[in-house]
Amino acid sequence: MAAKSYDNPELNKKLADQRYHNSQSNPEFTKDILKTSRTVANMCYQCGTCTGSCPSAPRSTYRIRLFMRRNVLGLENEALTDPDLWLCTTCYSCTDRCPRDIAPTDVIMAMRNFAFKRDIVPRNFLQTVQLIYNSGHGVPNNDVNRAARVRLGLTADPPTTHMYPEYIKGIQKILDLYGLKENSDRILKGD
């Protein structure tokens, strides 16, 4: 029973729930985000400094404060299916200014990780995976650039996986151990 009681069982139940969980809430989500984000996201008191610092906020409906609230309330579906989740440029201005010493940016990153587990991810992220799997580089070399490199006295290919492709096997093994290539192939094909 809540400290103050009313002749209304439904209201009493609501007042007893100090986490304001509703039928949409998944309390485990808050714990998962805490672990993956490595920041005390549940300590947010909704001051809005994050949204006020956000370069994406003035030009979209993306509100980082809203995602912070969804985390505290365990509103997993609402958070992970909102396309605005992908509008964070990860500039960390909110993180630098948060008076609760939380890293809201890392909460967004963690939420994106959980969205990916449900196959929710923009295509361009998966294309980067494909490029790295094949070449080791997210932005691989090309012929125009090779010619320019030679003009500058550099090797046509940089001394990375481009010049030493024998290292690509190790990279592919890492990505395969996490099933990343397989998952991104599957998601890209499903579109």
What is the C-alpha separation between 141 and 138, in angstroms, rounded?
Answer: 10
Rg over CA atoms, the chain: 22
Who's near 6: CB < 8 A, 6+ residues apart?
A: 12, 15
78 versus 114: smaller Cβ distance to another protein: 114
* 43 interacts with another protein by CB under 8 A: no
**Range in contact with another protein (rule: CB under 8 A) among 12-20, 63-71, 74-82, 84-92:** 84-92
What is the C-alpha separation between 87 and 176, in angstroms, rounded?
Answer: 28
* 64 interacts with another protein by CB under 8 A: no
75 versus 110: smaller Cβ distance to another protein: 110
Q: Which of 41, 64, 80, 110 binds another protein (CB under 8 A)?
A: 110
Residue with tokens 């400290």: 3
Read off the amino acid at residue 177.
L
Read off the amino acid at residue 3.
A
Please, are residues 63 and 57 in contact by the beta-carbon 8 Å criterion? yes
Please, are residues 160 and 137 in contact by the beta-carbon 8 Å criterion? yes
* 31 interacts with another protein by CB under 8 A: no
What is the C-alpha separation between 51 and 56, in angstroms, rounded?
Answer: 9
**Range in contact with another protein (rule: CB under 8 A) among 1-9, 24-32, 40-48, 142-150:** 142-150
**Range in contact with another protein (rule: CB under 8 A) among 8-16, 19-27, 71-79, 176-184:** 176-184
Instruction: With CB under 8 A as the rule, give the number of residues binding another protein.
Output: 66
Binding site for another protein (CB under 8 A): 36, 55-56, 59-60, 86-93, 95-96, 101, 103, 105, 109-110, 112-113, 116, 121-122, 124-129, 132, 136-142, 144-145, 148-149, 151-154, 158-164, 166-167, 169-171, 173-175, 177-178, 180, 184
